[in-house]
Structure formats: structure tokens, C-alpha cells
Homo-oligomer: A and B are copies of this chain.
């Protein structure tokens, strides 16, 4: 969600630039026979202007009539799919069944809904799935089981992106990195949102090669004052032995980030950021409305 908003901010800040948005597919899930790609859809809805701005995901004005009826006929409804949202999943599922790749489906959906000229690229067309280990139950579950069904209300002791090591990057992903003038790591969860992308075969190496050519990798902290606006990133940092802070996130990226945007509330982390090899940019990191997204993106671009 922070990722899709920052991507939209980049689009607004540099409307003439070619923008490729590489999106995590590790939390894709099949429910009720429908293939659901939550992060791709959040980016699609954000770029197309359909997103529910208050929630940050799903189409605006969505209703849940099918889910309520599904509950009556005994279906599982912990993953609440809105009526408008369902159309996206139905269309994706039928195109995949007809032999389309996830990239092709995403391009088609983006063309239909509008993406402000940005390329939205799933990180891979291979099936990968993020699973997490529930610490107390010593049990691995699909990320969505933890994230939606359990509402992240359980400590986790492991994250595994199954299939990612053999997954090839989707068409356009490596090319977009190779031709980029700048690479941004959006303010998202470093373990389950950005992490899976970096684990896709050759993605991290291609970014490192770009760095050696002088391309700057810029990151935005998803944590402000040690907390996330939404989501379990802070908690997961602690559980995996990192400092639950902007600096902790940077440490996870392990030398990949050149320029790192943190909030003034985290000014005392500047020495940590420098120690971790990045140049800190201290700017109000809270994205208030669409103007806030663009302001943040502009601030980071100016610093490059």
C-alpha cells in the first residue's frame, strides 16, 4: 500500500519519465478457484485512480454482496473480496486459464483500467508463494493466512518465498533495471514485499550491476518513529533480530541502498544510516493524500 502510493507519487513527480513498477507476487493466492494478486491489484487500482483512498487497497465504493451470499452457502469468507474487485480476479483467472502469463494479464488489465503510462510488471511469471512460520505453533502457513486470516496477530519465526530461487524475472523486469536512470525501493515491508522481488533470479545482481555503472538506488523507509503506518514490518524486524526502525530496514537491504529517505522524527538514526553505507535524506516521510505522495517522490528525486 505504501509502495503503490509512492509509485503513484513518482508518476506525479515525473510525468514525462518512463516508469516501470516491479511488483511482488509472493502473496498471490488462489481462493475459490480465483487467482488473486493483491499487490499487483493495489498498484493497478492506485495508478488507474480506482483505489479506495481511505483503505489504500481495493476499488473505491466496493460492496461485498457476493461474499455475504457466499457466507450463506457455507463458503469461506475470511478473505473479503469485493464485488468490483471480484471482476479483476475473474478476468485474471480466465485469461491465465486461456494460457496468458501473469505479465500479459497485468498489461491487459492496466490497458483496460489505465495506468498513467506506467508499466506494471509482476516480478515473475512463475508461481512463487510467500509462506511464514508461526513461531508459537511451529507451523508454516501461506502469507495470506497470516496476513488476512490471522490479521498478523501471531509472532512469526520465518519467511520463505517458495519457488523464488528458480523463478525467472518476468519479461521487462531486468530490462527496466538495466535501462533505469534511478531505482527506487518503495516504502514497503522489506521481508514480504520488497524481499521477494530481490530474491527473484538475477534481480539483485542486475541492480548491483546498475549501481556499479553509477545508477543510484534510492530507498524510502516504511517506518517512521519505529512504527509502520500499516502492516507488520516493525514487528517482523524485531522477530528477525533487527532494530524495529528505519535503520533496521536499511540493514535488511544489506548495502543495496545509496540514498535513504527517513523522517525528521528519525533524525537520530542518521549515523546508523551512514554506517550502513547510505546517504540519509531527512524529509517528512508521511504521505498525506496524493499531494503528499508526489511531494515525497520529488524530495527524493531532488536528492539524487
Q: Which residues of A line the B interface, CB within 8 A?
A: 32-34, 59, 63, 65-70, 72-75, 83-88, 90-91, 93-94, 97, 108-109, 112-113
Contacts and interface: CB of A to CB of B under 8 A. Distances in A.
A63 B90 CA distance: 17
Contacts of A108: 73-74
A72 B94 contact: no
Contacts of A74: 91, 108, 112
Given A34-B90, A65-B83, A74-B108, 16 more contacts: A32-B94, A33-B33, A33-B34, A33-B94, A33-B97, A66-B83, A66-B84, A66-B86, A66-B90, A68-B87, A69-B84, A69-B85, A73-B112, A74-B91, A74-B112, A75-B87
A106 to B, nearest CB: 11
B93 A73 contact: no
Contact of A75 (B59, B63, B90): B90
A68 B87 CA distance: 8
A192 B242 CA distance: 67
A69 B63 CA distance: 12
Contact of A69 (B32, B59, B67, B75): B59
Contact of A88 (B63, B69, B87): B69
Contacts of A83: 63, 65-66, 69, 83
The count of identical subunits is 2
Contacts of A65: 63, 65, 83-84
Contact of A73 (B67, B69, B72, B109): B109
21 contacts: A32-B90, A32-B91, A33-B90, A33-B97, A34-B90, A63-B63, A63-B83, A65-B65, A65-B84, A66-B83, A66-B84, A66-B90, A68-B87, A69-B83, A69-B86, A72-B87, A73-B87, A73-B88, A73-B109, A74-B112, A83-B83
Contacts of A66: 66, 83-84, 86-87, 90
Contacts of A91: 32, 70, 73-75
A72 B113 contact: yes
A113 B66 CA distance: 15
A33 B93 contact: yes
A59 B72 CA distance: 13
A69 B87 CA distance: 6
- Residue of A66, A108, A109, A112 with most chain B CB atoms under a 10 A cut-off: A66
Contacts of A72: 87, 112-113
A88 B69 CA distance: 8
- Residue of A59, A68, A87, A97 with most chain B CB atoms under a 10 A cut-off: A87
A283 B32 CA distance: 47
Nearest to A85: B69
A40 to B, nearest CB: 13
A294 to B, nearest CB: 26
A71 to B, nearest CB: 8
